[in-house]
A and B are shown apart, each in its own frame.
Chain A
Amino acid sequence: MSENDFYTPTDLDRLRMENELLAFEVRFLKARSGGPAEVSGSPISLSRMTHLEEAETDLKLLLRRIQNSPLGPVARTNRNFRTLIGRYLKRSPNVGSMSPTQRAAYFEGAERDLVLLLKRLGRGPLGVVFRGRKSFRTLQERYL
Protein backbone atom coordinates (compact mmCIF):
# COMPACT_ATOMS: atom_id res chain seq x y z
CA MET A 1 0.00 0.00 0.00
CA SER A 2 1.50 3.34 -1.01
CA GLU A 3 1.54 6.52 1.02
CA ASN A 4 -0.97 7.96 -1.44
CA ASP A 5 -3.62 5.65 -0.02
CA PHE A 6 -3.66 7.68 3.20
CA TYR A 7 -4.89 11.15 3.78
CA THR A 8 -5.17 13.15 6.98
CA PRO A 9 -7.35 16.26 7.02
CA THR A 10 -5.47 19.17 8.49
CA ASP A 11 -6.79 21.90 10.76
CA LEU A 12 -6.87 24.09 7.70
CA ASP A 13 -9.21 21.64 5.95
CA ARG A 14 -11.53 21.64 8.95
CA LEU A 15 -11.47 25.41 9.07
CA ARG A 16 -12.30 25.63 5.39
CA MET A 17 -15.26 23.27 5.74
CA GLU A 18 -16.54 25.10 8.81
CA ASN A 19 -16.23 28.33 6.90
CA GLU A 20 -18.20 26.92 3.96
CA LEU A 21 -20.96 25.75 6.26
CA LEU A 22 -21.11 29.17 7.93
CA ALA A 23 -21.34 30.84 4.53
CA PHE A 24 -24.30 28.62 3.67
CA GLU A 25 -25.86 29.41 7.03
CA VAL A 26 -25.56 33.15 6.41
CA ARG A 27 -27.22 32.77 3.01
CA PHE A 28 -29.92 30.62 4.53
CA LEU A 29 -30.63 33.08 7.35
CA LYS A 30 -30.61 36.06 4.99
CA ALA A 31 -33.08 34.35 2.71
CA ARG A 32 -35.31 33.39 5.62
CA SER A 33 -35.28 36.79 7.28
CA GLY A 34 -36.14 38.47 3.99
CA GLY A 35 -38.89 36.03 3.06
CA PRO A 36 -38.52 33.11 0.74
CA ALA A 37 -37.39 35.03 -2.32
CA GLU A 38 -36.54 38.59 -1.39
CA VAL A 39 -33.73 40.39 0.35
CA SER A 40 -35.15 42.36 3.26
CA GLY A 41 -36.43 45.74 2.05
CA SER A 42 -35.19 45.24 -1.48
CA PRO A 43 -37.29 44.49 -4.55
CA ILE A 44 -34.54 42.16 -5.76
CA SER A 45 -34.30 38.46 -4.91
CA LEU A 46 -31.40 37.18 -2.85
CA SER A 47 -29.90 35.19 -5.72
CA ARG A 48 -30.16 38.18 -8.08
CA MET A 49 -28.56 40.44 -5.47
CA THR A 50 -25.71 37.95 -5.01
CA HIS A 51 -25.20 37.92 -8.77
CA LEU A 52 -25.14 41.74 -8.89
CA GLU A 53 -22.66 41.96 -6.02
CA GLU A 54 -20.42 39.50 -7.82
CA ALA A 55 -20.72 41.59 -11.00
CA GLU A 56 -19.52 44.65 -9.13
CA THR A 57 -16.56 42.73 -7.70
CA ASP A 58 -15.69 41.35 -11.14
CA LEU A 59 -15.92 44.84 -12.65
CA LYS A 60 -13.52 46.27 -10.06
CA LEU A 61 -11.08 43.42 -10.61
CA LEU A 62 -11.22 43.86 -14.37
CA LEU A 63 -10.66 47.61 -14.14
CA ARG A 64 -7.70 47.13 -11.78
CA ARG A 65 -6.17 44.54 -14.09
CA ILE A 66 -6.48 46.73 -17.16
CA GLN A 67 -5.15 49.73 -15.26
CA ASN A 68 -2.10 47.83 -14.05
CA SER A 69 -1.41 46.09 -17.35
CA PRO A 70 0.78 47.44 -20.14
CA LEU A 71 -2.47 48.60 -21.75
CA GLY A 72 -3.20 50.84 -18.76
CA PRO A 73 -1.75 54.09 -20.19
CA VAL A 74 -3.64 53.57 -23.46
CA ALA A 75 -6.89 52.74 -21.67
CA ARG A 76 -6.64 55.86 -19.50
CA THR A 77 -6.75 58.05 -22.59
CA ASN A 78 -10.34 56.87 -23.06
CA ARG A 79 -12.86 59.09 -21.28
CA ASN A 80 -15.31 56.25 -20.62
CA PHE A 81 -12.60 54.17 -19.01
CA ARG A 82 -11.62 57.12 -16.78
CA THR A 83 -15.27 57.50 -15.77
CA LEU A 84 -15.45 53.86 -14.72
CA ILE A 85 -12.18 54.13 -12.77
CA GLY A 86 -13.53 57.18 -11.00
CA ARG A 87 -16.89 55.58 -10.28
CA TYR A 88 -15.72 52.19 -9.02
CA LEU A 89 -12.10 52.52 -7.89
CA LYS A 90 -11.46 56.10 -6.84
CA ARG A 91 -14.83 57.11 -5.44
CA SER A 92 -16.28 53.72 -4.59
CA PRO A 93 -19.43 54.50 -2.56
CA ASN A 94 -20.06 53.17 0.93
CA VAL A 95 -22.58 50.47 0.05
CA GLY A 96 -23.26 49.72 3.70
CA SER A 97 -24.77 53.16 4.29
CA MET A 98 -27.17 52.90 1.33
CA SER A 99 -30.83 52.00 1.57
CA PRO A 100 -31.77 48.61 0.05
CA THR A 101 -33.22 50.35 -3.02
CA GLN A 102 -30.13 52.53 -3.51
CA ARG A 103 -27.91 49.51 -3.05
CA ALA A 104 -29.86 47.53 -5.64
CA ALA A 105 -29.66 50.45 -8.10
CA TYR A 106 -25.90 50.81 -7.55
CA PHE A 107 -25.22 47.12 -8.14
CA GLU A 108 -27.49 47.03 -11.19
CA GLY A 109 -25.55 49.96 -12.60
CA ALA A 110 -22.30 48.11 -12.00
CA GLU A 111 -23.62 45.08 -13.84
CA ARG A 112 -24.68 47.26 -16.79
CA ASP A 113 -21.25 48.91 -16.88
CA LEU A 114 -19.54 45.54 -16.77
CA VAL A 115 -21.63 44.22 -19.65
CA LEU A 116 -20.86 47.32 -21.76
CA LEU A 117 -17.17 47.15 -20.94
CA LEU A 118 -16.96 43.46 -21.83
CA LYS A 119 -18.76 44.06 -25.13
CA ARG A 120 -16.47 46.96 -26.06
CA LEU A 121 -13.28 45.15 -25.07
CA GLY A 122 -14.33 42.05 -26.99
CA ARG A 123 -15.19 44.02 -30.13
CA GLY A 124 -12.36 46.55 -30.22
CA PRO A 125 -9.00 46.24 -32.00
CA LEU A 126 -7.62 44.40 -28.99
CA GLY A 127 -10.58 42.03 -28.85
CA VAL A 128 -8.50 39.12 -30.10
CA VAL A 129 -5.98 39.64 -27.31
CA PHE A 130 -8.69 39.81 -24.64
CA ARG A 131 -10.61 36.84 -25.97
CA GLY A 132 -7.40 34.83 -25.88
CA ARG A 133 -7.40 35.12 -22.09
CA LYS A 134 -9.34 32.50 -20.19
CA SER A 135 -10.39 34.87 -17.40
CA PHE A 136 -11.87 37.26 -19.96
CA ARG A 137 -13.78 34.45 -21.66
CA THR A 138 -15.12 33.36 -18.28
CA LEU A 139 -16.45 36.87 -17.67
CA GLN A 140 -18.01 36.92 -21.14
CA GLU A 141 -19.70 33.59 -20.50
CA ARG A 142 -20.96 34.80 -17.16
CA TYR A 143 -22.37 38.16 -18.14
CA LEU A 144 -22.97 38.31 -21.90
Chain B
Amino acid sequence: MSDQLIIAGFHRSGTSATSRLLHRAGLFLGYELLEALPSNPYGHFEDREIVKLHTRILADNEKTWAVDETFLPIVIQQRWQLMQSIIDRRNSEHRLWGFKDPRACLFLMLWKHLLPNARILIVYRHFSGSTYSLGQRHSSDMFLGRGSELVHRRFWEEPDYALRMWLVHNNALLAFARAFPEDTMTVSLDMIRDGFPVVWALNRRWGLGLEDVPVAEAFDQSISPRRIRRQPVSDLGLIESVRETWRRLEDLAGETEMLLGKEAPVV
Protein backbone atom coordinates (compact mmCIF):
# COMPACT_ATOMS: atom_id res chain seq x y z
CA MET B 1 0.00 0.00 0.00
CA SER B 2 1.55 3.31 -1.10
CA ASP B 3 0.98 6.88 -0.06
CA GLN B 4 1.07 9.69 -2.58
CA LEU B 5 1.75 13.36 -2.15
CA ILE B 6 1.24 15.75 -5.06
CA ILE B 7 2.83 19.19 -4.87
CA ALA B 8 0.70 21.67 -6.76
CA GLY B 9 1.08 25.38 -7.28
CA PHE B 10 1.16 27.97 -10.03
CA HIS B 11 4.38 28.55 -11.98
CA ARG B 12 7.02 30.59 -10.11
CA SER B 13 5.31 30.05 -6.78
CA GLY B 14 8.04 28.17 -4.95
CA THR B 15 6.92 24.64 -5.81
CA SER B 16 10.42 23.69 -7.01
CA ALA B 17 12.03 24.85 -3.76
CA THR B 18 9.35 23.03 -1.77
CA SER B 19 9.86 19.88 -3.84
CA ARG B 20 13.60 20.12 -3.28
CA LEU B 21 12.94 20.15 0.44
CA LEU B 22 10.58 17.17 0.24
CA HIS B 23 12.96 15.31 -2.06
CA ARG B 24 15.65 15.68 0.58
CA ALA B 25 13.17 14.51 3.15
CA GLY B 26 12.80 11.26 1.22
CA LEU B 27 9.84 11.81 -1.09
CA PHE B 28 10.29 10.00 -4.39
CA LEU B 29 9.49 12.50 -7.13
CA GLY B 30 10.20 10.61 -10.33
CA TYR B 31 12.58 8.44 -12.29
CA GLU B 32 13.88 11.18 -14.57
CA LEU B 33 13.73 14.74 -13.29
CA LEU B 34 14.04 17.80 -15.54
CA GLU B 35 17.44 19.45 -15.48
CA ALA B 36 18.18 22.80 -13.81
CA LEU B 37 17.86 26.05 -15.75
CA PRO B 38 19.01 29.60 -14.90
CA SER B 39 15.42 30.36 -13.84
CA ASN B 40 15.48 27.34 -11.51
CA PRO B 41 19.13 26.86 -10.59
CA TYR B 42 18.49 23.96 -8.20
CA GLY B 43 16.30 22.10 -10.67
CA HIS B 44 12.59 21.84 -11.26
CA PHE B 45 12.06 18.49 -9.54
CA GLU B 46 9.55 17.66 -12.26
CA ASP B 47 9.28 14.14 -13.57
CA ARG B 48 9.65 14.09 -17.35
CA GLU B 49 7.03 11.35 -17.72
CA ILE B 50 4.39 13.30 -15.77
CA VAL B 51 5.19 16.60 -17.50
CA LYS B 52 4.92 14.86 -20.87
CA LEU B 53 1.56 13.38 -19.91
CA HIS B 54 0.18 16.73 -18.76
CA THR B 55 1.51 18.45 -21.88
CA ARG B 56 -0.22 15.85 -24.04
CA ILE B 57 -3.53 16.25 -22.25
CA LEU B 58 -3.23 20.01 -22.70
CA ALA B 59 -2.44 19.54 -26.40
CA ASP B 60 -5.44 17.20 -26.79
CA ASN B 61 -7.50 20.14 -25.54
CA GLU B 62 -5.68 22.61 -27.81
CA LYS B 63 -3.88 24.23 -24.88
CA THR B 64 -0.29 24.82 -23.88
CA TRP B 65 1.18 25.16 -20.37
CA ALA B 66 0.09 28.82 -20.36
CA VAL B 67 -3.59 28.29 -19.57
CA ASP B 68 -5.31 31.60 -18.90
CA GLU B 69 -8.96 30.60 -18.97
CA THR B 70 -10.94 27.99 -17.08
CA PHE B 71 -11.42 24.75 -18.99
CA LEU B 72 -12.68 21.27 -18.34
CA PRO B 73 -10.10 18.83 -19.76
CA ILE B 74 -11.22 16.06 -22.05
CA VAL B 75 -9.05 12.99 -21.47
CA ILE B 76 -8.83 10.30 -24.09
CA GLN B 77 -8.54 6.61 -23.18
CA GLN B 78 -4.85 6.46 -24.09
CA ARG B 79 -4.02 9.15 -21.53
CA TRP B 80 -6.02 7.41 -18.79
CA GLN B 81 -4.02 4.26 -19.53
CA LEU B 82 -0.73 6.14 -19.33
CA MET B 83 -1.77 7.69 -16.02
CA GLN B 84 -2.65 4.28 -14.67
CA SER B 85 0.67 2.78 -15.78
CA ILE B 86 2.56 5.66 -14.14
CA ILE B 87 0.65 4.98 -10.94
CA ASP B 88 1.09 1.19 -11.05
CA ARG B 89 4.85 1.36 -11.48
CA ARG B 90 5.34 3.82 -8.63
CA ASN B 91 2.91 2.05 -6.32
CA SER B 92 4.76 -1.21 -6.81
CA GLU B 93 8.19 0.29 -6.22
CA HIS B 94 7.69 3.02 -3.62
CA ARG B 95 5.99 3.17 -0.25
CA LEU B 96 5.67 6.94 -0.63
CA TRP B 97 5.86 8.81 -3.89
CA GLY B 98 4.63 11.99 -5.44
CA PHE B 99 5.26 14.49 -8.16
CA LYS B 100 5.39 18.16 -8.81
CA ASP B 101 4.29 19.98 -11.93
CA PRO B 102 2.52 23.35 -12.05
CA ARG B 103 0.31 21.94 -14.80
CA ALA B 104 -1.04 19.52 -12.20
CA CYS B 105 -3.16 22.36 -10.76
CA LEU B 106 -5.51 21.80 -13.69
CA PHE B 107 -5.61 18.01 -13.41
CA LEU B 108 -5.88 17.30 -9.70
CA MET B 109 -9.40 15.94 -10.03
CA LEU B 110 -8.18 13.40 -12.61
CA TRP B 111 -5.38 12.18 -10.36
CA LYS B 112 -7.70 12.05 -7.39
CA HIS B 113 -10.06 9.86 -9.39
CA LEU B 114 -7.29 7.31 -9.91
CA LEU B 115 -5.59 7.85 -6.55
CA PRO B 116 -8.40 8.24 -4.01
CA ASN B 117 -5.95 8.40 -1.09
CA ALA B 118 -3.58 10.96 -2.63
CA ARG B 119 -2.79 14.02 -0.55
CA ILE B 120 -2.11 17.41 -2.08
CA LEU B 121 0.26 20.06 -0.83
CA ILE B 122 -0.82 23.40 -2.28
CA VAL B 123 1.89 26.04 -2.52
CA TYR B 124 0.94 29.56 -3.49
CA ARG B 125 2.67 32.90 -3.85
CA HIS B 126 1.45 36.47 -4.03
CA PHE B 127 0.29 37.29 -7.56
CA SER B 128 2.74 40.15 -7.95
CA GLY B 129 5.67 37.87 -7.12
CA SER B 130 4.58 35.10 -9.47
CA THR B 131 3.69 37.33 -12.41
CA TYR B 132 6.84 39.42 -12.07
CA SER B 133 8.96 36.30 -11.92
CA LEU B 134 7.24 34.88 -15.01
CA GLY B 135 7.90 38.14 -16.85
CA GLN B 136 11.54 38.03 -15.82
CA ARG B 137 11.95 34.41 -16.95
CA HIS B 138 10.34 34.98 -20.33
CA SER B 139 12.12 38.25 -21.02
CA SER B 140 15.47 36.59 -20.30
CA ASP B 141 14.60 33.64 -22.52
CA MET B 142 13.50 36.01 -25.27
CA PHE B 143 16.65 38.15 -25.12
CA LEU B 144 18.81 35.04 -25.10
CA GLY B 145 16.90 33.61 -28.06
CA ARG B 146 15.90 30.54 -26.06
CA GLY B 147 12.62 28.88 -27.07
CA SER B 148 9.81 30.44 -29.05
CA GLU B 149 9.79 34.23 -29.20
CA LEU B 150 6.05 34.13 -29.90
CA VAL B 151 5.45 32.39 -26.58
CA HIS B 152 7.67 34.81 -24.67
CA ARG B 153 6.34 37.91 -26.38
CA ARG B 154 2.76 37.08 -25.51
CA PHE B 155 3.45 38.24 -21.96
CA TRP B 156 3.88 41.78 -23.32
CA GLU B 157 1.25 41.68 -26.01
CA GLU B 158 -1.76 40.50 -24.05
CA PRO B 159 -2.66 42.65 -21.09
CA ASP B 160 -2.96 40.76 -17.80
CA TYR B 161 -1.91 37.48 -19.42
CA ALA B 162 0.21 36.28 -16.48
CA LEU B 163 -2.32 37.54 -13.96
CA ARG B 164 -5.12 35.59 -15.64
CA MET B 165 -2.92 32.50 -15.58
CA TRP B 166 -2.30 32.99 -11.86
CA LEU B 167 -6.04 33.30 -11.34
CA VAL B 168 -7.03 30.19 -13.30
CA HIS B 169 -4.43 27.94 -11.67
CA ASN B 170 -5.10 29.12 -8.14
CA ASN B 171 -8.85 28.94 -8.58
CA ALA B 172 -8.45 25.34 -9.72
CA LEU B 173 -6.48 24.66 -6.54
CA LEU B 174 -9.14 26.30 -4.41
CA ALA B 175 -11.89 24.26 -6.08
CA PHE B 176 -9.97 21.10 -5.30
CA ALA B 177 -9.32 22.15 -1.71
CA ARG B 178 -13.02 22.83 -1.25
CA ALA B 179 -13.92 19.38 -2.57
CA PHE B 180 -11.24 17.50 -0.59
CA PRO B 181 -10.38 19.52 2.50
CA GLU B 182 -9.16 16.45 4.41
CA ASP B 183 -6.62 15.60 1.73
CA THR B 184 -5.31 19.10 1.15
CA MET B 185 -2.79 21.20 3.00
CA THR B 186 -2.07 24.76 1.91
CA VAL B 187 1.09 26.73 2.54
CA SER B 188 2.36 29.98 1.12
CA LEU B 189 5.87 30.53 -0.14
CA ASP B 190 6.24 33.19 2.55
CA MET B 191 5.37 30.67 5.28
CA ILE B 192 8.04 28.27 4.07
CA ARG B 193 10.54 31.10 3.69
CA ASP B 194 9.81 32.14 7.26
CA GLY B 195 10.64 28.65 8.46
CA PHE B 196 7.22 26.99 8.70
CA PRO B 197 8.12 23.33 9.34
CA VAL B 198 6.37 21.96 6.29
CA VAL B 199 7.85 18.46 6.50
CA TRP B 200 6.94 18.17 10.16
CA ALA B 201 3.44 19.45 9.38
CA LEU B 202 2.93 16.87 6.61
CA ASN B 203 4.09 14.08 8.90
CA ARG B 204 1.94 15.35 11.73
CA ARG B 205 -1.16 15.56 9.61
CA TRP B 206 -0.87 12.48 7.46
CA GLY B 207 1.86 10.36 9.05
CA LEU B 208 3.93 10.24 5.87
CA GLY B 209 7.15 9.28 7.64
CA LEU B 210 9.31 11.85 5.86
CA GLU B 211 12.68 12.68 7.33
CA ASP B 212 12.48 16.08 9.01
CA VAL B 213 14.83 18.37 7.08
CA PRO B 214 15.19 21.94 8.37
CA VAL B 215 13.73 24.38 5.85
CA ALA B 216 16.85 26.56 5.94
CA GLU B 217 18.95 23.63 4.77
CA ALA B 218 17.12 23.21 1.50
CA PHE B 219 15.66 26.64 0.86
CA ASP B 220 17.76 29.37 -0.74
CA GLN B 221 16.19 32.72 0.26
CA SER B 222 17.92 34.56 -2.58
CA ILE B 223 16.24 32.57 -5.36
CA SER B 224 12.75 33.96 -4.94
CA PRO B 225 12.92 37.39 -3.29
CA ARG B 226 9.98 38.37 -1.12
CA ARG B 227 9.39 41.85 -2.49
CA ILE B 228 5.73 42.53 -3.23
CA ARG B 229 5.29 44.99 -6.07
CA ARG B 230 2.24 46.90 -7.13
CA GLN B 231 0.48 44.76 -9.70
CA PRO B 232 -0.03 46.41 -13.06
CA VAL B 233 -3.48 45.58 -14.36
CA SER B 234 -5.37 46.69 -17.46
CA ASP B 235 -8.71 44.95 -17.00
CA LEU B 236 -10.09 46.45 -13.81
CA GLY B 237 -12.69 43.69 -13.73
CA LEU B 238 -9.95 41.27 -12.69
CA ILE B 239 -9.04 43.06 -9.49
CA GLU B 240 -11.93 41.80 -7.40
CA SER B 241 -11.46 38.18 -8.55
CA VAL B 242 -7.75 38.30 -7.80
CA ARG B 243 -8.39 39.80 -4.37
CA GLU B 244 -10.99 37.15 -3.58
CA THR B 245 -8.73 34.30 -4.71
CA TRP B 246 -5.84 35.70 -2.67
CA ARG B 247 -8.04 36.06 0.39
CA ARG B 248 -9.26 32.46 0.11
CA LEU B 249 -5.72 31.16 -0.29
CA GLU B 250 -4.64 33.11 2.76
CA ASP B 251 -7.60 31.69 4.70
CA LEU B 252 -6.54 28.16 3.82
CA ALA B 253 -2.95 28.85 4.83
CA GLY B 254 -4.26 30.35 8.06
CA GLU B 255 -6.07 27.08 8.72
CA THR B 256 -2.80 25.18 8.22
CA GLU B 257 -1.05 27.46 10.67
CA MET B 258 -3.85 27.23 13.21
CA LEU B 259 -4.13 23.49 12.91
CA LEU B 260 -0.45 22.92 13.43
CA GLY B 261 0.94 26.12 14.84
CA LYS B 262 0.40 25.38 18.51
CA GLU B 263 2.32 22.13 18.38
CA ALA B 264 4.93 23.09 15.79
CA PRO B 265 8.54 22.60 16.80
CA VAL B 266 10.79 25.62 17.21
CA VAL B 267 13.02 25.94 14.15
Chain A contacts to B: CB under 8 angstroms? 4, 7, 9-10, 13, 16-18, 20-21, 24-25, 27-29, 47, 51, 54, 138, 141-142
Q: Find out whether the CB atom of A18 lies under 8 angstroms from the CB atom of B225.
A: no
Classify chain B's interface size. Answer: 10 to 19
- Option from A13, A17, A25, A54 in Cβ contact (under 8 Å) with B227: A54
The CA of A28 and the CA of B136, in the complex, are separated in Å by: 9
B157 within 8 Å of A by Cβ?
yes
Contact A16 B234, beta carbon cutoff 8 Å: yes
Check if B225 sits within 8 Å of A17, measured CB to CB: no
Residues 117-142 of B at the A interface (beta carbon under 8 Å): 135-136, 139-140
The distance from the CB of A21 to the nearest CB of chain B, in whole angstroms, is 4
Contact B140 A28 (CB under 8 A): yes
- Expressed in whole angstroms, the minimum distance between the Cβ of B86 and any Cβ of chain A is 37
Considering the complex, which residues of chain B in the window 37-79 have a beta carbon less than 8 Å from any beta carbon of chain A?
none
In the assembled complex, the Cα of A112 lies from the Cα of B139 at a distance in Å of 32
Chain B residues lying within 8 Å of A54, measured Cβ to Cβ, are 227
User: How many angstroms from the CA of A112 to the CA of B86 in the assembled complex?
Assistant: 53
For the complex, give the distance between the alpha carbons of A13 and B238 in Å: 14
Where the two chains meet, the residues of B that have a C-beta atom closer than 8 Å to any C-beta of A are 135-136, 139-140, 143, 156-159, 222, 225-228, 232, 234-235, 237
A and B contact pairs by CB, cutoff 8 A, 10 listed: A7-B237, A9-B158, A13-B159, A20-B135, A25-B143, A28-B139, A28-B140, A28-B143, A47-B225, A54-B227
- Which B residue sits closest to A27, measured CB to CB? B136
B235 touches A25 (CB 8 A): no
Q: Pick the residue among B139, B140, B159, B227 that contacts A9 (CB under 8 A).
A: B159
Cβ of A21: which chain B residues have Cβ within 8 Å of it?
Answer: 139, 156
Assembled-state Cα–Cα distance A42/B232 (Å): 31
Alpha-carbon distance A141/B193, docked complex (angstroms)? 12
What is the distance, in angstroms, from A25's C-beta to the closest C-beta of chain B? 6
| Nearest-CB residue, chain B, relative to A24 | B139
In-complex Cβ contact of A18 among B140, B156, B226, B234 (8 A): B156
